[in-house]
Amino acid sequence: MHFLQKQLFDYLHTKKYLYENMFLRLASLLMGLTWGVKLPAQHNNWWTRWSVTYPVSAKFYTELESQLRLQTNQLDSHSSFFANRHLAHSIRFFAHFKISSKFSTSLSPFTWFATSPVILSPSDVEAPLQHEIRPSILAEWIPYSKGRLSLSLRTWLEYRYFQKTAEGLVRFRQRVGMRYQLHEKWYAFIGEEILLHLHGVSPLERFDHNRLVLNLNYKPQPNWRIEVGYIYIHRLLRNKMLYINENNIVTHFYYTFPLTKKQIMADI
């Protein structure tokens, strides 16, 4: 019992430390991005995503997204902060179904990822891409919404099939988030997501990674949304059995086609 109490205390203390230092990490990262300062002992990435959503009706809509993730080569002493080495790119298709104003489900029958290893040694720089097919299903629930504040829970289940592997992996994702409406066109989001492998790995590899998310969303037009933010990640590199920390600047862009009167009337 004392051992379990100590483990719980250590875990909560670590989470408190991460949250208290999240803004300091973000400030340091932005300084590196702005002035090209080399940040020691950091893995720094840039994520961007382009998404186009087409509503079939007011309750059913489809989405096609493309992602690009770049990393900094930490082995290059002449490299500035800015990420310029490939980390991952992907194409993903979603079908979303809005059951109510507080609950929705989504299915991604096809997702294709191509990833490069995190650069930790010279051999990682020229390593070939690893290809992955990742179908998934998810559900999102808003248990609380009042005024400008809302809380959300997102549960995600993925099947990960890698090229040249006999058996795929099953990964579970759980995100808890809070959204605050700052203005008619602006809202902020903060959340935490944990990712665990449920099948296809050894017990020591169950933990995949943990994400702390902070972003700002802006809607310049009703159909456009721009997301800029920061994600701090603590993750396990399974091929090296090594835990690393990552700083990620994100810039995401979303466009949704407007609903037609016919599509609106179809759900009445």
Q: Which pLDDT does position 9 carry in this prediction? A: 45
Please tell me the least confidently modeled range out of 31-40, 137-146, 204-213, 245-254. Answer: 31-40
Domain ranges within the chain, ordered by starting residue: 2-266
The whole-number pLDDT of residue 34 equals: 40
CB 151 within 8 A of CB 143: yes
For the entire predicted model, the pTM comes to: 0.82
> Shortest CA distance to 247 belongs to which of 48, 79, 45?
45
pLDDT averaged over every residue in the chain: 85
Task: Give 73's DSSP letter.
Answer: -
143-166 pLDDT, tens per residue? 999 999 999 999 999 999 998 787
Of 1 and 143, which is predicted with more confidence?
Answer: 143
The region of weakest confidence among 5-14, 150-159, 215-224 is 5-14
pLDDT of residue 166: 76
Structure confidence by residue, pLDDT tens digits, 11-46: 445 555 455 555 555 554 554 444 344 444 468 999
pLDDT value of residue 238: 86
146/266 Cα distance (integer angstroms): 29
In DSSP terms, 235 is beta-bridged to 209, 244
**Separation in Å, CA 177 to CA 5, 104, 111:** 27, 15, 24
pLDDT band at 268 (very low <50, low <70, confident <90, very high): low
| Model confidence pLDDT, tens digit, residues 102-117 | 999 999 999 999 999 9
Superfamily (CATH H level) for 2-266 = monomeric porin ompg (2.40.160.40)
- Phi and psi of 90, rounded to 5°? -155, 160
Q: What is the pLDDT at residue 163?
A: 87
Predicted confidence at residue 265, as pLDDT, reads: 59
Rg of the chain's alpha carbons, rounded to an integer? Answer: 20
Please compute the mean of the pLDDT values over residues 127-142 and round it to a whole number.
96
